[in-house]
Amino acid sequence: MMNDDMSDLTDVSAVNDDVGESFFDDMDFDTGPLEEELRRAAAILDPVPAELRQIAVEAFALHDLDARIAELTFDSVVDAIPVRGATSVPRMLTFHSGDVTVDVEVSAQGLLGQVLPPQSASIEVLSGPQAALPLVADDMGRFTSDVSPAGPFALRLRTAGEVVVTEWLRA
């Protein structure tokens, strides 16, 4: 086990408010067993819910090396200036993969998006390993859904040339 390393005083002193009286530092005891006890407590009182573990096992079906991943390049939650006083602002997302860009607006009313450059595409809104809602993007690349994604979601697009999947996100 690591011993207290005084070279890290800056980091450690930042939490002194949390950690309390420094006289505890002089108490020497084996911290391993206490950590083990905590581990046991967590396993009993706050374990991974079984249904969640099962969903993660089933998520193997989402493994698809043939699809290109469109990475999130803009998320209004992170990248935009908050609108003061506005309570339900649509979330704006932009994904990029090579020369394909997907803009998506998620609001309580549903989902509104556009594929760029404009092109028709068949789209699936994925919400897990099993569930998918089919949509169609018109010749201008526009698509809409009146179902607002709840929880994790991704879009799978089939254009003329390829299959693109957006990075999984929590809506």
Partner 1 sequence: MTVKAAPSAAYDDLPYTRGGAVDRADVGALVQSAVDGDAAAWKALVEGLSPLVWSVVRAHRLSDADAHEVYQTVWFRFAQHLGRIREPEKTGSWLASTARHECLKLIKSLRRLTLTDDPQVLDRVSEDRTPEEFLIDSEEAAAETERIRRVWQEFGELGDRCRQLLRVLMASPPPSYQEVSAALGIAVGSIGPLRQRCLRRLRARLDARGA
Give the interface with partner 1 as residue ranges (CB under 8 A).
1-5, 7-8, 11-12, 15, 17-20, 24-25, 27, 29, 31-49, 52-53, 55-57, 59-65, 69, 75, 77-78, 82, 87-89, 91, 128-129, 151-152, 154, 165, 167-170
144 membership: H or E segment, kind and range: strand 142-145
Nearer to partner 1, 74 or 168 (CB): 168
**Nearest approach, Cβ of residue 17 and partner 1 (Å):** 7
Nearer to partner 1, 18 or 139 (CB): 18
Nearer to partner 1, 44 or 160 (CB): 44
- Residue 114 burial (CB count, 10 A): 17
**Nearest approach, Cβ of residue 146 and partner 1 (Å):** 21
What CA–CA distance (Å, rounded) separates 126 from 58?
Answer: 14
Q: How far is CA 139 from CA 56, 116, 143, 153, in A?
A: 36, 11, 10, 24
For residue 147, give the 3-state DSSP assignment: coil
